[in-house]
Amino acid sequence: MVAEAVQHKMKNHIGKAGVKRIRVHDLRHSHVAYLIHQGVEPLMIKERLGHKDIKITLNTYGHLYPNEQKKLAEMLNTKK
C-alpha cells in the first residue's frame, strides 16, 4: 500500500515536472549504485536490501561492480 502511494505521488510530480518517468524500484537501484560507489561492502548492501542470500544481491547489482574492480586493481598496483 505504501509503495503504491509513493508511486502515485511520484507519477503526479513527474508529470508536473515534465521529466522522464521513474519507478520506486529505480530509486532502490540508484541507492545501491551510490552505496557501491561509496565502497560499502556487498554484505552490508545485502542486509540493507533484505536479501536472504548474497547471490541475489550480486546477481541483481553485480553489473555495477566492474568500475570497482578497476579501482581495486589500480590501488593494488600503486601499493608496492
pLDDT score for 76: 85
Domain count, the chain: 1
Which residue positions in the chain have pLDDT lower than 70?
A: 1, 79-80
Q: Within 10 A of 57 (CB to CB), how many other CB atoms are there?
A: 21
Alpha helices in 1-80 (DSSP H): 2-17, 24-37, 42-49, 54-61, 66-78
Whether the pTM exceeds 0.85: the reply is no
- Which range marks the domain in which residue 36 is found? 2-78
Rounded-to-integer distance, Cα 57 and Cα 48, Å: 10
pLDDT digits (tens, 9 = 90+) for 35-58: 998 989 999 999 999 999 999 999
Cell 551510490 appears where?
34
